[in-house]
């Protein structure tokens, strides 16, 4: 039997594909304190779903288009008198509201909002796998290519300027990459939990490593472990798969945080 005939194998491959792209980007989200960006782009994805259904085009194309528009809007408006968290908060909740209103206007179209809000990884098809891995590999290649410039513009924008690197351009590269990840991840964990998939593995990896590269690799390992553990837990306990994945990631983060706190206390004695 073909391995891809198994819905569980397709689900695992989908989750792993998303995580290898989300992990390094999640590190930049943590370093830049852009946690709200994942929410803003993910919430905009609901509007993309509504537009895709309304115009009878691919869901992926609709979500990607709206996510890219959100990314460009954030990059354009940032630094123009609004704090980043304020700007992202306004755009995030506005996009979600417009998306839900747009869905309500769809006539004769059956929309499973729960699948888009919380993901439906167990229903991933071969075609979905091709889209997920294509997007993930594209993002991974882009991040590897721009890694040094992204890192320098994140850690020291002034030094980046002096080295001939435009921090605004690198921020645009980062936000566009995040938009692609959101578009491919909507099937896996849905719009509500995408930000958690970006942030939690990176946050769990941060106290355990000394270099940015090691943090990105460990975040990917934690993310993949969360996918495998979450799927297994969902199967055993008959729980929803997307939230189960995030729960496992959160438990890993909790264990790391407690361990780090204990180590700090022992050093202080």
Lookup: tokens for 247:
């729960």
Lookup: tokens for 118:
């919380």
Residue 162 has pLDDT above 60, yes or no: yes
Cα 220 from Cα 199, distance rounded (Å): 11
Residue 233 has pLDDT above 80, yes or no: yes
Q: Which residues contact 125 (CB under 8 A, 6 or more apart)?
A: 10
Kindly give the residue spans of alpha helices, DSSP state H, lying in 33-156. Answer: 35-54, 59-77, 84-104, 113-118, 126-155
Environment class of residue 157 by beta-carbon count within 10 Å: exposed (0-12), middle (13-18) or buried (19+)? Answer: middle
Domains of the chain: which residue ranges?
3-193
Cα 235 from Cα 122, distance rounded (Å): 10
Task: Please say whether the beta carbons of 191 and 48 come within 8 A.
Answer: no
Looking at residue 269, what is its pLDDT?
56
Residue 256 has pLDDT above 90, yes or no: yes
| Best-predicted range by mean pLDDT (125-129, 205-209, 258-262) | 205-209
Task: Please say whether the beta carbons of 156 and 230 come within 8 A.
Answer: no
Q: Which residues contact 67 (CB under 8 A, 6 or more apart)?
A: 41, 44, 45, 48, 179, 180, 182, 183
Residue 49 has pLDDT above 80, yes or no: yes
Radius of gyration of the chain (CA): 19
Other CB atoms within a 10 A radius of the CB of residue 73 amount to: 16
* Predicted confidence (pLDDT) per residue in 86-135, tens digit: 777 788 888 888 888 888 887 766 667 778 778 888 889 888 899 999 99
Looking at residue 248, what is its pLDDT?
96
Residue 188 has pLDDT above 60, yes or no: yes
Cα 101 from Cα 94, distance rounded (Å): 11
Task: Please say whether the beta carbons of 60 and 45 come within 8 A.
Answer: no
For residue 141, the Cα-to-chain-centroid distance in whole angstroms is: 16
Tell me the pTM: 0.89
Residue 29 has pLDDT above 60, yes or no: yes
* Nearest alpha carbon to residue 75 among 93, 63, 87, 60: 87
Lookup: tokens for 134:
């294509």
Q: Which residues contact 8 (CB under 8 A, 6 or more apart)?
A: 122, 231, 235
Task: Please say whether the beta carbons of 129 and 136 come within 8 A.
Answer: no
Residue 76 has pLDDT above 80, yes or no: no
User: At which residue do the structure tokens 């890219």 appear?
Assistant: 68
CATH architecture of 3-193: Orthogonal Bundle (1.10)
Mean pLDDT of the residues in the chain: 86
């Amino acid at each position: 039997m073909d391995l891809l005939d198994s819905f569980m194998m397709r689900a695992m491959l989908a989750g792993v594909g998303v995580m290898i792209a989300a992990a390094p980007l999640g590190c930049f989200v943590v370093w830049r304190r852009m946690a709200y960006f994942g929410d803003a782009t993910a919430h905009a994805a609901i509007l993309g779903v509504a537009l895709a259904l309304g115009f009878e085009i691919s869901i992926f194309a609709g979500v990607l288009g709206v996510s890219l528009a959100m990314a460009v809007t954030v990059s354009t408006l940032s630094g123009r008198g609004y704090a980043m968290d304020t700007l992202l908060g306004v755009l995030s909740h506005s996009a979600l509201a417009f998306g839900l209103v747009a869905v309500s206007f769809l006539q004769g179209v059956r929309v499973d909002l729960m699948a888009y809000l919380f993901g439906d990884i167990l229903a991933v098809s071969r075609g979905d796998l091709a889209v997920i891995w294509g997007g993930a590999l594209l993002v991974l290649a882009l991040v590897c290519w721009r890694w040094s410039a992204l890192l320098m513009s994140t850690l020291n924008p002034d030094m980046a300027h002096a080295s001939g690197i435009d921090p605004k351009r690198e921020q645009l590269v980062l936000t566009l990459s995040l938009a692609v990840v959101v578009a491919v991840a909507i099937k896996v964990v849905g719009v509500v939990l995408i930000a958690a998939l970006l942030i939690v593995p990176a946050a769990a990896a941060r106290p355990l490593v000394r270099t940015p590269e090691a943090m990105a690799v460990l975040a990917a390992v934690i993310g993949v472990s969360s996918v495998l553990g979450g799927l297994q837990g969902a199967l055993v306990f008959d729980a929803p798969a997307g939230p189960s994945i995030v729960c496992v990631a959160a438990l890993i983060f909790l264990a790391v945080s407690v361990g780090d706190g204990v180590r700090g206390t022992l050093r202080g004695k």
